[in-house]
Structure 1
Amino acid sequence: QNLLGKGFCSQRYLISSSCAFGERNFRAAGQISARILDLFRQTVHRYPRSQEFWCFRMRPPVASLRGVRRALSSPWHPRWQCPRAAFGSLTDDADTVFCTNVSALQGSSPVLLGLLDYFQRQTPHVGFFQPIGANPLNGASRYTGEPKHVALMKHAMGLKDPSESMYGVAEEEAKRLLTLGRFDELMDRIFVKYQAMKKAKDVILLEGATVRGLLGNHNELNAKIAAELDTSILMIMDLNRDNPGTASEIASRALRHRRELQADRASVLGLLLNKVPLAAHADIVSGVAAELADSGLTFAGGIPYDRIIGTARVNEFANALGAKQIYGRPELIDSDVTGIMVAAQSVHGFLDKLEAIRAQREAEGQTFFRPLVLTTKDRQDLVLGLAAASLSGACPPLGGLVLCDGGACAITPPVHAIMARLGPDTLPVLEVPHGAFETARRMARVNPGILPTSVRKVREARALFGRHVDVDAVASGMAVHREPRLTPKRFVWQIEELCRAAPQRIVLPEAHDHRVLSAAAEVAARGIARVTLLGEPGEVAAAAARFNVDVSRCEVEDHRSSTRLDAYADFLVEARKKKALTKAAALDQLTDINMFGTIMVAMGDADGMVSGATCTTANTIRPALQVLKTPDRRLISSVFFMCLPDRVLVYGDCAVNVEPTAAELAQIATTSADTAAAFGVEPRVAMLSYSTLGSGAGPQVDLVTEATALARAARPDLAIEGPIQYDAAVDPGVAATKVKGRSEVAGRATVCVFPDLNTGNNTYKAVQQSTGAIAIGPLMQGLARPVNDLSRGCTVADIVNTVACTAVQAAGLKAAAQQATSAAAAA
């Protein structure tokens, strides 16, 4: 604070809190995190500019560190770090940046190499990931078939990850899925591989794709991918060397690209220019920086056009042709060429032609001349003549000799023996399988790039990046706190990961329905839960065969002849003793599949139940209300997880309580917040009304006001705001105008509590129908064990999602029970 108060915050200083704690004297994670946050708030309040200098470095035991991570998951999450400090953090997620060339070109290699080089100097755990593995390499090298930039990053930057883990979907497969309109399937496959990489990395550099031969807007595709992966885009914009445009025009194009990306919900980190004409480099960079100064778009500089990088090299032609090098050292093909020459005349005639062209170029002031020569395999006289002339210096330097199969004549043994005696420093000779016309066509289409073997280009690219890019601006943009978005893809993935970590047994009573059978097979195959189907085994097997569904991984329990019927009847008699239920009546009730499944859950033979695909909500829920109510929570309520295009919100109660009292509404709010937290949604609770913080009056507003006060009193640890209107709760722009002062909930709500069933049920259906959102639920709250209802119009995906949510609820209730038991034993 003293340093900052004396004006030192004009420079980049790192304020580091280094704490080393042993196992014995390590205090509670909550106390440590509270102290850190208190220091942070004090400093930032007094010196707002100090926010970017904070970096927390702690060395507590791993288990406790996880507790600190969870405790610091708040609006004050320490993501802001000194740009040069490092990227180690207390968060489980990796820092990420998504580079995409908004000019729809593939010239981003210098940027990728430079950024990865910078990140590797900050932390050892750096990854590179292409959602779509674009531009697979050809030829006979060890990189054949690998996406070009994946191979480049592995070889040039020493990344150790398997190539297959560094891209989501291969280019051809991605093109097929996109052509068929199966974007969701493409994203599912990308997301799984991306999340696997995030677990092991501190920083991940992603690259957008330009899929060859795919019609459509590549920027739109990359924006949607970046939004789903919740990463920020660094725009790379190539300039035309001959007509780059004015600084104003360049800035205008950049801002237009930003608007287009943001329209697809992508977050834009900044802009970096590429291939800036060298003569105008300084003027363009300074002019663009001035034009963008007040735009809110970070400008990281411009990489100038470079002749070394911009000139095609022999190995790039070899890759494009699928060529095999038969003579000369492999390193010799990492050399520039100035063009292609076709050799069809005699040896001396071609040598004369070479000399004439060199003399002409020198007269024009062009001193560099190194052509790549194309001829046919039957011209072995040219092979020997040009190899000898090149070694002796009797002709201008040649990039290499390409032999196509025009004459279809193999190199003869005498010629091969002579070439072998000339040694490895002889002229590189490449052999291609194509005819002369096809070879010439492919050579004409080669664009200069950087290959894994382009040692000189890699070195030049890293040097250019270091000289011309303000990498601190990029790192600062990554370090500035941006609240993570829980996208539907991430939410579903997160749920399934929780399920696999603690497998639960879920009973599905409606085994006669083909949707239930299909969902059961999928749940079991994906390891989401262990499934028990109710029905006579032979009938279930016959139904599965009729619908071509494999349920071999599922258990089948016959509810009509189960060996557990007698025990279940005794349990039901005891549970309903106030109703004087007889055993005979209990046995009769157990013929109902929902009652049998509920008793299975109550007695611990299953962990949860999902039903309702073919029966009413009342038939599904009534048995649970009779035997699974908890003494401490008398109110049963429900929530929906609303998977909107860019986020996941929790709606409650939209299915059970018609007109809750203030006390009941408060309980719905706190229970819904706990459910949200259990599923990885940070709870920020909005108590909805037609009034925002006193803008309106009436009995319904008073009800919500009272409920808000009760909820806050019961749970002071929760962020709860109300009464508040829906738009002010979820839209930051509306919240800024309607809510005065600081609010942790306004514009950022994740849990929306509706005042009554009429409002809640209609709202969730309206949002679902108008936005195409996926509504998962209703999930029941307040039961001793989870039982959840399906809509009779549910799909297989709906059933799978509900089973997964039920498994998470079951695991959470078990964990809570174990904690309560441990606490009681300790007391």
Structure 2
Amino acid sequence: MTRSVYVTGIDRGDGRQVVELGVMEILTRQVDRVGVFRPLVHDGPDRLYDLLRARYRLSQDPASAYGMDYHEASTIQAEQGTDELVSRLVDRFHRVAEEYEVVLVLGTDYAATQLPDELALNARLANEFGASVLPVVGGRGQTAESVRAEARNAYRAYEALGCDVLALAVNRVDPKDRDVIHERLESRLPVPCWVLPDEPALSAPTVAQVTHALGGTVLLGDDSGLARDALDFVFGGAMLPNFLAALTPGCLVVTPGDRADLVVGSLAAHSSGTPPIAGVLLTLGERPPEQILTLAARLAPGTPVVSVPGNSFPTAAELSGLEGKLNAATPRKAETALGLFERHVDTAALMSRISAPSSTRVTPMMFEHKLLERAREDRRRVVLPEGTEERVLRAADVLLRRGVCDLTLLGDVEVIRKKAADLGVNLADADLVDPQTSELRDRFAARYAQLRAHKGVSVELAYDVVADVNYFGTLMVQEGLADGMVSGSVHSTAATIRPAFEIIKTSPGAKIVSSVFFMCLADKVLVYGDCAVNPDPDAEQLADIAIQSAATAEQFGVDPRIAMLSYSTGTSGSGADVDKVREATGLVRSLRSDLRVEGPIQYDAAVEPSVAATKLPESTVAGQASVLIFPDLNTGNNTYKAVQRSAGAIAVGPVLQGLRKPVNDLSRGALVQDIVNTVAITAIQAQGPATRPPAPPSDPSGTPTV
């Protein structure tokens, strides 16, 4: 057991950056302050450290993350011996270890290092650092038997050198061999062994990386297009019909710059989604006429067209040696890498083997990590009605790459595919449904007419209503075809939740539908309710909001200590507004004697221990409240926005509560990460006590108070 993890290898080409990124991800779920140390570094930028620093917002001084460069190390080892080299590196490591709760150590890379017996050096450093070792073995291009033999030898080598081997990772194996290798290694090694299949998207260079490597000039395209992975290279020389038949999804078209027909044809194919391409690379330094470039820009906005000076043969030779790299400029590759790691590594088991202390602080990043982790543990299907919206498509890309949940996107399928192609978003694992043409439309119309018969809704009218994406998505949830729904990035709150009121209705025991925001402060998460739905709840409704909010807080790992907020604390004030809060507090206590609740109480007395010690010294809630219930929407909405903007808090929500099945509303200003978080929350809500949504009841019941 250790507070430091040393990720290392036995040779080049193991792709261990996937494992290093994955280990960093699980460490930052548990610990607030994680340090990084690379004992030996090459000249030039350290792409992986730059990625870790950007992704995990590391405050560590980059200079402290490195021991020394390889040239200095080889000189010291040759002139003064290995002991001197190790001594200096140990000293520099401990400077980092003193500042952080846990340290991720990135081992040497076996790439022209001029160091003899590099494996032994890594083992010696790990032992001197007091770190457990996680060796990574590369399996690309090897048979299943040779991979198994190499993995066993790697374990024995590090174990024989006295290392505490935490686990073993085998990476880049042929997908068809993955299960067999895993089964045989698991039974023959005394430590966990996880086997990751080769993932072409990780080794594929992005268009930007190709452009940089070949000294190209970008003629057309935006940053999103340049970030696409070039999964294949298709060289154009044939006539257009034969050429189009050779295109593959995600390919980079390489053609002489004077072949305007192939440029226009490939971009037209991309525009139609058959297939989406990564971009076009023009050789010979030829630039197409302006009218061709104008047409190309209109056919496929954002798709890169790049000109390189060489002819096709040397260009092909250079492309064959290019490999994609994880770095801060390739966030999609990072999501793909993490998704791969989390699918094939038992992260809970790995974390249990690392003696990293769980932090008492809960940072926004830790909260977000845990949302994705919990959603992934029991995958659910979430329907996104706004399938043609760019932010939704980008969020879907992240969710699918990370394997957070299954997705159904609603909208015109061809429009969704075209927009996804333009954005370089891969929706291969998502279901795309057009409510206008779906075979479910008749079924949903009959169901909606049944539910709304008391309002005089006919099947004919219902047929038109259910073509609306929000109604269609809500009916998917009601009918058990999806577990939850998230909408609102381009629709109003009313348009998003009205179908839920009409179709899903309130859960048993809930008097109203309400909402909470998870307010992620620098060191803790607070729950604010209700800041989005009910304008002026009475005492009974306010008590219901408090009880619902406590349940939501508990579901997401926040220990509920409820503060019923008012402009006075305890018995110091009076008036209708204070009396409402006092009555609501009494109702919560009578209905749920197990809940800790205080009210009326002012905000400062609720969250600041020094104020609480003066105003309510005997309270078990004052000064440490985690669930804050506002007396009305005006107060709640303004407070959450003030805290969000002035204190730099991340507001996750609104999260609706009180419905039979989860439907959540987005802010129309929602960022991509906001959508990712809200979908994860919806998936977690859907997990609930049941394993899957039950079949819809034959008769509607339950009427919400709105």
Q: TM-score, normalised to structure 2's length?
A: 0.54
Coordinate RMSD, CA, aligned: 4.1
Separation of aligned partners in 2, 1:746 and 1:177 = 47
Q: Does 1:159 align with 2:164?
A: yes
Map of 1:71 onto structure 2: none
Q: CA deviation at 1:199?
A: 4.4
Question: CA distance change for structure 1 residues 652 and 816 in 2, over 3 Å: closer, same or farther?
Answer: farther
2:497–2:663: 8 Å Cα contact kept in structure 1?
A: yes
CA separation of 1:514 and 1:141: change in aligned 2, threshold 3 A: same
User: Which protein is bigger by CA-based radius of gyration?
Assistant: 1
In the TM superposition, what whole-angstrom CA distance separates every residue of 1:327-353 from its partner, at most 9, and x where no partner exists? xxxxxxxxxxxxxxxxxxxxxxxxxxx
Alignment of 1:541-620 (within 5 A): 541-620=417-496
CA contact (8 A) 1:500 1:529 kept: yes
Give the 3-state SS of the residue equivalent to 2:690 in structure 1: helix
Query: Contact 1:682 / 1:750 at 8 angstroms: preserved in 2?
Result: yes
Q: Are the structure 2 counterparts of residues 145 and 577 from structure 1 closer, same or farther at C-alpha, using a change threshold of 3 Å?
A: farther
Question: Within 1, Cα distance between the matches of 2:608 and 2:169?
Answer: 40
Task: Indicate if the aligned counterparts of 1:525 and 1:553 stay in contact, CA closer than 8 A.
Answer: no
Whether the 8 Å CA contact 1:778–1:790 is kept in 2: the answer is yes
Instruction: State the Cα distance separating 1:783 from its structure 2 match.
Output: 0.8
- 2 CA distance for matches of 1:517 and 1:506? 14
Deviations 1:450-485 (A, max 9, x none): xxxxxxxxxxxxxxxxxxxxxxxxxxxxxxxxxx33
Provide the C-alpha distance between the structure 2 equivalents of 1:512 and 1:100, rounded to a whole number of angstroms.
Answer: 40
1:768 to 644, 653, 660: 644
Aligned partner of residue 722 in structure 1, secondary structure: strand
Query: In the TM superposition, what whole-angstrom CA distance separates every residue of 1:582-626 from its partner, at most 9, and x where no partner exists?
Result: 111101111211111111111111111111111111111111111
Say if 2:652 is the partner of 1:679: no
The yes-or-no answer on 1:140 pairing with 2:116 is yes
Unaligned runs of 5+ in 1: 1-92, 117-127, 167-175, 207-228, 232-483, 822-827
1:130 aligns with 2:93: no
Percent of residue pairs identical: 43
Instruction: Report the alpha carbon displacement of residue 141 of structure 1 after superposing the two structures with TM.
Output: 2.3
For the residue of structure 1 that corresponds to 2:664, the secondary structure is strand
Partner of 2:366: 490
2:607 equivalent among 730, 735, 743:
730
Q: Which residue of 2 aligns with 1:806?
A: 682
Shift of 1:575: 1.0
- Matches of 2:327 and 2:424, distance apart in 1: 28
- Relative distance call for 1:588 and 1:813 in structure 2 (3 A) is farther
Check the 8 A contact 2:36/2:105 in 1, yes or no.
no
Q: Could you report, residue by residue, the CA deviation over 1:499-555 in whole angstroms, capped at 9, with x for unpaired residues? A: 112111111111111111111122112111111011232221112112221111110
Segments of structure 2 that go 5 or more residues without pairing to the other structure are: 1-28, 38-59, 68-86, 133-157, 171-191, 193-324, 698-706
Q: Secondary structure of 1:143's match? A: helix
Rounded Cα–Cα distance in structure 2 between residues aligned with 1:668 and 1:494: 25
The answer on whether the counterparts of 1:624 and 1:787 sit within 8 Å (CA) in structure 2 is yes
Who is 1:628 aligned against? 504
Q: Answer yes or no: is the 8 Å Cα contact 1:662–1:703 preserved in 2.
A: yes
Residue type of the partner of 1:131?
L
Runs of 4+ in 1 over 4 A off after TM superposition: 93-113, 134-138, 144-149, 154-157, 162-166, 176-180, 195-206, 815-818
User: Would the aligned equivalents of 1:611 and 1:789 in 2 still touch at CA under 8 Å?
Assistant: yes
Q: 1:151 offset after TM fit, Å? A: 4.8
> Where does residue 627 of structure 2 map in the other structure?
751
Matched, 1:697 2:702: no
8 Å CA contact 1:136–1:146 kept in 2: the answer is no
> 2:517 & 2:364 partners in 1: Cα distance?
13
Equivalence map 1:315-394=2 (5 Å)? none
3-state secondary structure, aligned to 1:752: strand
Contact kept in structure 2, 1:143 and 1:151, CA below 8 Å: no
Deviations for 1:40-84, whole angstroms, at most 9, x for unmatched residues?
A: xxxxxxxxxxxxxxxxxxxxxxxxxxxxxxxxxxxxxxxxxxxxx
Pairwise mapping of residues 523-534 of structure 1 onto structure 2 (< 5 A)? Answer: 523-534=399-410
Q: Tell whether the 8 Å contact from 1:785 to 1:813 is kept in structure 2 after alignment.
A: no
CA deviations over 1:187-227 (Å, ceiling 9, x no partner): x98xx99x977745668556xxxxxxxxxxxxxxxxxxxxx
Tell me the equivalent position of 2:254. none
| Aligned-partner residue type, residue 727 of structure 1 | D
CA contact (8 A) 1:650 1:672 kept: yes
Relative to structure 1, is the Cα distance of residues 149 and 667 closer, same or farther in structure 2, using a 3 angstrom cutoff? farther
Amino acid at match of 1:143: L
Task: Supply the distance in 1 between the matched residues of 2:692 and 2:575 (Cα, whole angstroms).
Answer: 40
Aligned residues: 425
Q: Which amino acid aligns with 2:116?
A: A
CA drift of 1:736 comes to: 2.4
Inter-partner Cα distance in structure 2 for 1:178 and 1:722? 50
Q: 1:709 to 1:98 in 2, by over 3 A?
A: same
Q: 2:662 aligns with which of 780, 786, 789?
A: 786
Change (3 A) 1:95 1:545: closer
**Is residue 94–residue 203 contact of structure 1 (8 Å, CA) maintained in 2?**
no
Q: Which residue of 2 aligns with 1:36?
A: none
Describe the SS at the equivalent of 2:623.
coil
Calculate the TM-score normalised by the size of structure 1. Answer: 0.46
Residues 691, 723 of structure 1: 8 Å contact kept? yes
SS, match of residue 563 in structure 2: strand
Q: CA deviation at 1:488?
A: 1.9
- After superposition, the Cα gap between the structure-2 partners of 1:504 and 1:145, relative to the gap in structure 1 and judged at 3 Å, is farther
Q: 2:32 and 2:489 mapped to 1: Cα distance?
A: 41
Distance 2:35 2:680 in 1: 34
CA contact (8 A) 2:36 2:104 kept: no
Could you tell me whether the CA contact under 8 Å between 1:505 and 1:531 is conserved in 2? yes
